[in-house]
Amino acid sequence: MNQKRITMKEIAIEAGVAKSTVSRYFNGGYVKEETREKIRKVIEAHHYEPSAAASNLKAKETKTIGVIAPTIDSNTSSRLLTSMNAYLKEKGYTVILIDTNHDINDEIRSIQYFESLRVDGIILVATNINLIHQKLVHESQIPILIVAQHFKNGFSIIYDDYRAGYTAGEYAAKMGHENILYLGVNRVDEAVGVQRRKGVIEALEEHQVPRIHTRETDFSFSKARKVIRHYLKDHHPTMIIAATDNLALACYKEITEKGLKVPEDISLIGFGGYEVSELLTPSLCTIRFDYKLAGQMAGSTILSLIKKEPVATTQVIGFELIHGQSVKNRRKKSLSSTTS
Amino acid sequence: MNQKRITMKEIAIEAGVAKSTVSRYFNGGYVKEETREKIRKVIEAHHYEPSAAASNLKAKETKTIGVIAPTIDSNTSSRLLTSMNAYLKEKGYTVILIDTNHDINDEIRSIQYFESLRVDGIILVATNINLIHQKLVHESQIPILIVAQHFKNGFSIIYDDYRAGYTAGEYAAKMGHENILYLGVNRVDEAVGVQRRKGVIEALEEHQVPRIHTRETDFSFSKARKVIRHYLKDHHPTMIIAATDNLALACYKEITEKGLKVPEDISLIGFGGYEVSELLTPSLCTIRFDYKLAGQMAGSTILSLIKKEPVATTQVIGFELIHGQSVKNRRKKSLSSTTS
């Protein structure tokens, strides 16, 4: 026991990794399994006691979790964050939140800011994962969990956006719609902008829908109204699939103001499953993800990462199709106008 | 200029106040105008340069504002916080948010936490102001602004809840309703729970509405549905005034599921003015506060407090009554069922 203890630097040299990697290893940051194995071997060879080392190296727990989100002004985001917050609060943690307002640079700054605060863990509800994110997560001494976007080199919780999109597109095609608009959002958002869109379009193409249009907007109600108002001047789709319920509600409003009816003239599908979409007459057909579950899973996963318990690198949140009454079945020749 | 400078302690003794008060004076914390005047006189008598002193005493700016909110899972709260965040971000500040989930003890802890982080200012969207809040704000070295609740001994931005409630109650009475339920929320929330309720009930009483009932619930959709389902078993109101749009939407759902119609059987009034309430058929009659403006005002006010610019102790946010189509005019004998 009195033999000279190996230092972190020596472990790093012997394992052939950077000193910062060894530091991350002890502090619960992300280290590739392969690298982790190398460090473990050196430690074992020297009878190094990682628990003692960890308690020396590890900064005192602050019992705070930093959460970074692109918006709080959406029902899905609010629901996710509220559930995450309730879970972590119950476990004795303080959750501090930064709302980046869809600004990716702000996400980067927020990660750095939370590191300077020495939070115990960071949850990033991401719009997009770029190289800077990857570098930051890789170098971070603090466990980081990504929610809503797939992250190859770390831990993430994702919604099954591609399959959800495919399900919506397939349903539209099977209901006999042949002239369909997909109202999507900016493709900077990888999950909603790219994957969801891809699922919808591929389903429509595979089911040989003859006329498929797409338009792009942002997440705001007012911008969507403008885009759809303009589109409806020259086009007569029988179906609009909108990337979020909020956008679908904007379509709803424009269709109604034009004196047209949902679903008789134009059918509608959204993504979200907000309580209010049920209140509309007719109620909105939508894809519902379990945001409450996603929030709880994010909370329990970051705690597992902090405690260095085993965690799956990717966890996928499922969805269900809520039929509602906003889709007309065009296969039935004017017998009944809606499906249940 | 080379005369011996007076110390903070000496200023305190000469002004007859605590040293911590002098410290607050320089750091932009709350100091009563009367006390402020005493300190100012001592400083002037000694040709003390407050700017130099301030730069010595004042902790380095962190360019962060701590925001404490009871929930982010409500449209009004999300809108307020998003607007506040956008304003402060534009001004170069990072906003960090703690969601207390309506837990007052958590508000107290969060104020202390933000002080330990040395944020430049704190905005508390409050549920209730108790003695501990008062003490914390009084002792704080950091400017604190209260939003949504009136605060006697400091700075606050409030919604005009009493008058908004009165306006809703008066409108209900003038439309000829004689059997009215007010669905309120827990009275721990001073603004919504007490003031809004008081406004409604006093208007109904002054207009001699013969049957006035009240029921209490929390802010959740599901709990409100349960309360109203139970109430409608034995009661036949012609009008329900609900403390929030969310609660009104819950009533809407229950009324519809009972096979009754809005407004023919039961009229509805809410508070909020969410975009979706317009989408309902019939659209909801509601009281709309300008939450976006409130957020901007909160942002600009906390910056004024930080910069020690003059600020009104209480700023009041106005409202408007959106008539919608959910109120039946019972004075017109079955001519037309709605008002515009």
**A73 touching chain B per CB within 8 A:** yes
A312 pLDDT above the threshold of 70: yes
What pLDDT score does B51 carry? 47
What pLDDT score does A74 carry? 81
A47 pLDDT above the threshold of 80: no
- B78 vs A64, A78, A117: nearest CB: A78
A86: chain B residues, CB-CB within 8 Å = 101
A335 pLDDT above the threshold of 60: no
Q: Count of CB contacts below 8 A, A vs B?
A: 88
What count of Cα atoms within 13 Å lies in the side-chain half-sphere of residue A329?
Answer: 13
Taking the C-alpha atoms of A196, A199, A201 and A202 in order, what is their torsion angle to the nearest 10 degrees? Answer: 160
**A221 touching chain B per CB within 8 A:** yes
What pLDDT score does B299 carry? 97
- Closest residue of chain A to B63, computed from CA coordinates: A113
B8 pLDDT above the threshold of 70: yes
What pLDDT score does A34 carry? 83
Dist CA B299 CA B304 (whole Å)? 9
CA angle A144, A145, A150 (to 5 degrees): 125
**B96 touching chain A per CB within 8 A:** yes
- A72 vs B72, B278, B280: nearest CB: B72
A307 pLDDT above the threshold of 90: yes
Q: What percent of chain A has pLDDT over 70?
A: 91
B117: chain A residues, CB-CB within 8 Å = 117
Chain A, residues 113-132, CB within 8 A of chain B, namely: 113, 117
B275: chain A residues, CB-CB within 8 Å = 221, 249
**A225 touching chain B per CB within 8 A:** no
Q: Work out the average pLDDT over A53-57.
A: 42
Confidence band for B262, pLDDT divided at 50, 70 and 90: very high
Which of A84-98, A123-137, A216-230, B212-226 shows the lowest per-residue confidence on average (mean pLDDT)? A123-137
Q: What percent of chain B has pLDDT over 90?
A: 58
- Closest residue of chain A to B106, computed from CA coordinates: A94
* Residue A124, token pair as written in the block: 């990033």
What pLDDT score does B48 carry? 65
What pLDDT score does A48 carry? 65
Confidence band for A284, pLDDT divided at 50, 70 and 90: very high
Interface probe for A, chosen from B90, B97, B253 (most Cβ of A below 10 Å), is B97
What pLDDT score does B59 carry? 52
pLDDT digits (tens, 9 = 90+) for B268-285: 999 988 777 777 778 899
CA distance B323 to chain A (A): 18
Chain B, residues 247-286, CB within 8 A of chain A, namely: 249, 252-253, 275-276, 278-281
Q: Work out the average pLDDT over A45-52.
A: 60
* Residue B86, token pair as written in the block: 């956008």
Q: Work out the average pLDDT over B118-134.
A: 89
A110: chain B residues, CB-CB within 8 Å = 94
CB contact under 8 A, A253 and B98: no
The beta strands (E) that lie in chain B are given as 64-69, 94-99, 121-125, 144-147, 155-159, 179-185, 211-217, 239-242, 267-271, 285-289, 314-317, 319-322
A149 pLDDT above the threshold of 80: yes
What pLDDT score does B49 carry? 56
What are chain B's domains? 8-57 (1.10.260), 64-159+292-318 (3.40.50.2300), 161-290 (3.40.50.2300)
Q: Work out the average pLDDT over A107-132.
A: 90
Q: Are B97 and B69 in contact (CB under 8 A)?
A: yes
CB contact under 8 A, A110 and B101: no
Dist CA B47 CA B42 (whole Å)? 9
Q: What percent of chain A has pLDDT over 90?
A: 59
What pLDDT score does A39 carry? 83
Return the higher-pLDDT residue of A107 and B52.
Answer: A107
The ipTM, to two decimals, is: 0.72
Highest mean pLDDT: which of A92-96, A106-110, A309-313, B132-136?
Answer: A92-96
What pLDDT score does A49 carry? 56
pLDDT digits (tens, 9 = 90+) for B29-88: 677 778 888 888 887 777 765 444 444 344 578 999 999 999 998 888 899 999 999 999
CB contact under 8 A, A221 and B275: yes
Question: Is residue B123 classed as helix, strand or coil in its secondary structure?
Answer: strand
CA distance A95 to chain B (A): 6
- Closest residue of chain B to A274, computed from CA coordinates: B276
Dist CA B229 CA B255 (whole Å)? 8
Q: Work out the average pLDDT over B143-150.
A: 93
What pLDDT score does B4 carry? 57
B170 pLDDT above the threshold of 70: yes
pLDDT digits (tens, 9 = 90+) for A191-238: 889 999 999 999 999 999 999 999 999 888 889 999 999 999 999 999
Q: Are A197 and A214 in contact (CB under 8 A)?
A: yes
pLDDT digits (tens, 9 = 90+) for B186-201: 888 888 899 999 999 9
B276: chain A residues, CB-CB within 8 Å = 249, 276, 279
- A81 vs B72, B95, B103: nearest CB: B72
CA distance B311 to chain A (A): 27
- B82 vs A72, A89, A281: nearest CB: A72
- Closest residue of chain B to A102, computed from CA coordinates: B86
Return mean pLDDT, chain B: 88
- Closest residue of chain A to B254, computed from CA coordinates: A279
Which of A125-139, A252-266, B136-150, B247-261 shows the lowest per-residue confidence on average (mean pLDDT)? A125-139
Q: Is the peptide bond before B263 cis (omega within 30 degrees of 0)?
A: yes
A56 pLDDT above the threshold of 50: no
Taking the C-alpha atoms of A86, A88, A93 and A98 in order, what is their torsion angle to the nearest 10 degrees? Answer: -80
Q: Is the peptide bond before A263 cis (omega within 30 degrees of 0)?
A: yes
CB contact under 8 A, B86 and A97: no
What pLDDT score does B5 carry? 66
